[in-house]
Copies of this chain bind each other. A is one copy, B any other.
Amino acid sequence: MYQRKTAIKNDCSIEKALNVVSGKWKPAILSELLKTNLRLKDIQIGLPEASKRALTQQLKEMIKDGLIEKEDFNQFPKKTEYSITSLGAQLSTVFAALSKFGDNL
């Protein structure tokens, strides 16, 4: 009779990927940034239920994870935009797969 003798290899890559995209507003923000650059104000208008504090926290985490970047434009009035990085852009395949799967739930 078959009996497992070795540990199930926890696919660290899957866990790591899930960790960086799992945040209350992260999928929504990332999906939008995959289409266009956004200012915080645009994100706030787009996600009115989210507090500014929560959004800036999630944006900060995604910058740290290398998924997005923040650019300050040297102009008046001050303008700051968030954009997707090349690493973050690779999430389009992940989101397409998740979205297709989620459609069946």
Residues 27-68 (chain A) with a chain B CB within 8 angstroms: 27-29, 31-32, 38, 41-43, 45-48, 65-66
How far apart sit A102 and B15, CA to CA, in the bound complex (Å)? 8
The verdict on A84 contacting chain B, using a C-beta distance below 8 Å, is no
Other-chain residue from B3, B13, B32 in contact with A98 (beta carbon distance below 8 A):
B13
Report the bound CA distance from A1 to B63 in whole Å.
25
Is there an interface contact between A28 and B4, defined as CB atoms closer than 8 Å? no
| B14 A98 Cβ-Cβ under 8 A | yes
Q: List the B side residues contacting A4 at CB < 8 Å.
A: 38, 41-42, 45-46
13 further interface pairs, Cβ-Cβ under 8 Å (given A7-B47, A14-B98): A4-B45, A7-B48, A8-B31, A8-B43, A10-B28, A11-B95, A13-B101, A14-B27, A15-B102, A91-B101, A93-B97, A94-B94, A94-B97
Which residues of A come within 8 Å of B, CB atoms?
2-8, 10-18, 20-22, 27-29, 31-32, 38, 41-43, 45-48, 65-66, 87, 90-91, 93-105
